[in-house]
Amino acid sequence: MIRLEKRPMPSRLWTVLTPIVAVLGTMVAGGLMFALLGKDPFEAIRTIFYDPLFNDQFAAYSRPQLLVKAGPLILIAIGLSLGFRAGVWNIGAEGQYIIGALCGAGVGLALYPSESFLVLPLMVAVGALGGWAWAMIPAVLKTRFNTNEILVSLLLVYVAEQLLASASLGLLRNPDGGGFPGSRNFQQWEAAANPELISGTGMHWGVVAAFIAVIGAYTMLSKHMLGFQIRLTGSAPRAARFAGVNPVRLVLICLGLSGALAGMAGLFEVTGPAGQISIDFGSGYGFTAIIVAFLGRLHPIGILLAGLLMALTYIGGELSQFMLGVPAAAIQAFQGMLLFFLLAVDVLSNYRVRIGKPGVA
Partner 1 sequence: MSDTLLALDGLTKAYPGVIANDDVSFSIGVGEVHALLGENGAGKSTLVKMIYGLVKPDAGKMTLHGDAYAPGRPSEARSLGVAMVFQHFSLFEALDVAENIALGMENPPKRRELAARIREVSNAYGLPLDPGRLVGELSAGERQRVEIIRCLLQNPRLLIMDEPTSVLTPQEVDILFGTLRKLSAEGTAILYISHKLDEIRALCDAATVLRRGKVVGTCVPRETTARDMAELMVGSTLHTPERRSTASEDVLLELRKVSLPAATPFGTSLHDISLSVHAGEVMGIGGVAGNGQDEFLSVLSGESLLAPGHIWVAGDDIGAQPPQTRRGIGVLAAPEERLGHAAAPDMSLVENALLTGSVRQKLAPNGFVNWSATRVFAEKVIADYDVRTPNADVAARALSGGNLQKFVIGREILQAPRVLVVNQPTWGVDAAAAASIRQALLDLAEQGAAVIVISQDLDELMEIADRFAALNGGRLTDPRPTQGLTIDEIGLMMGGAHDMEVAHAAQ
Partner 2 sequence: MAGISIELLLASLMVAATPILFAALGEMVVEKSGVLNLGVEGMMITGAICGFAVAVETGSPTLGFIGAALGGAGLSLIFAFLTQVLLSNQVATGLALTLFGLGFSALIGQGYVGIKPPATPDINFGAVSDIPFIGPVLLSHDVLVYLAIAMTAGVWAFLKFTRAGLILRAVGESHDAAHALGYKVVLIRSAAIVFGGALAGLGGAYVSLVRVPQWTEGMTAGAGWIALALVVFGAWRPWRVLLGAYLFGGITVLQLNLQAAGVRVPVELLSISPYLVTILVLVIMSSDRRRVAMNAPAALGRVFHASS
Q: Are the C-beta atoms of 255 and 92 separated by less than 8 Å? A: no
Interaction between residue 226 and partner 2 (CB under 8 A): no
Query: What does the longest C-alpha to C-alpha distance in the chain come to?
Result: 75
Distance CA 265, CA 68 (A): 11
Least distance to partner 1 from the beta carbon of 71, Å? 28
- Beta carbons within 8 Å of 190's beta carbon, 6+ residues apart: 115
Interaction between residue 356 and partner 1 (CB under 8 A): no
Interaction between residue 238 and partner 1 (CB under 8 A): yes
Q: Which of 130, 287, 304, 315 binds partner 2 (CB under 8 A)?
A: 287
How many C-beta atoms surround the C-beta of residue 198 within 10 A? Answer: 10
- Beta carbons within 8 Å of 42's beta carbon, 6+ residues apart: 31
Burial-class residue 254 by CB neighbours within 10 Å (0-12, 13-18, 19+): buried
Q: Which does 155 bind (CB under 5 to 8 A by kind): partner 1, partner 2, none?
A: partner 2
Stretch that binds partner 2, among 219-227, 257-265, 299-307, 332-340 (CB under 8 A): 332-340
39: DSSP letter? S
Q: Which does 340 bind (CB under 5 to 8 A by kind): partner 1, partner 2, none?
A: partner 2
Interaction between residue 353 and partner 1 (CB under 8 A): no
Q: Which does 242 bind (CB under 5 to 8 A by kind): partner 1, partner 2, none?
A: partner 1
Q: Which of 61, 198, 246, 325 binds partner 1 (CB under 8 A)?
A: 246
Task: Report how far apart, in Å, the C-alpha atoms of 94 and of each of 21, 28, 264, 285 are.
Answer: 28, 30, 12, 7
Using CB under 8 A, list all residues that contact partner 1: 5, 8-10, 223-226, 228, 231-232, 235-236, 238-244, 246, 358-361
**Residues engaged in binding partner 2 (CB under 8 A):** 4, 6, 37, 89, 91, 141, 145-148, 150-152, 154-156, 158-159, 162-163, 165-166, 287, 290-291, 294, 327-337, 339-340, 343-344, 346-347, 350-351, 360
